[in-house]
Amino acid sequence: MAKRRNFSPDFKARVALAAIRGDGTIAELAARYQVHPNVIGNWKRTALEGLKTTFARGVNRTDRGHEEEITRLQAKIGELVVERDFLAKAFDR
């Protein structure tokens, strides 16, 4: 019975990137890296799906951060307006 091999994330990324770039056919990459072609196909698919979610999450995280900052700044503006109006009335007397 063959022992299952574990590959580092760095190795998987390197092989998947080579497959995405088209540095050779899947069969050629499988021979070069000594990995089954189906495994390379899975890593390639996973990498491409990961790219989509990486960029999608980045946009959502940025938007959420901006919305929170806008809310915080609007609250601060409200406080400063109230303070300014109070002080203007206090000094007018």
- What does the pLDDT look like over 75-88, one tens digit per residue? 999 999 999 999 98
The CA angle 10-16-19, to the nearest 5 degrees, is 145
Q: Determine the average pLDDT of the residues in 63-73.
A: 82
Q: Is the pLDDT of residue 3 over 70?
A: yes
Q: Is the pLDDT of residue 18 over 60?
A: yes
Among candidates 24, 18, 65, which has minimal Cα distance to 44?
18
Tens digit of each residue's pLDDT (9 = 90 or more) over 21-64: 999 999 999 999 999 999 999 999 999 988 887 777 555 555 66
Answer for the pair 42, 72: CB distance below 8 angstroms, yes or no.
Answer: no
Answer for the pair 17, 47: CB distance below 8 angstroms, yes or no.
Answer: yes
Residue 88, H or E segment: helix 37-92
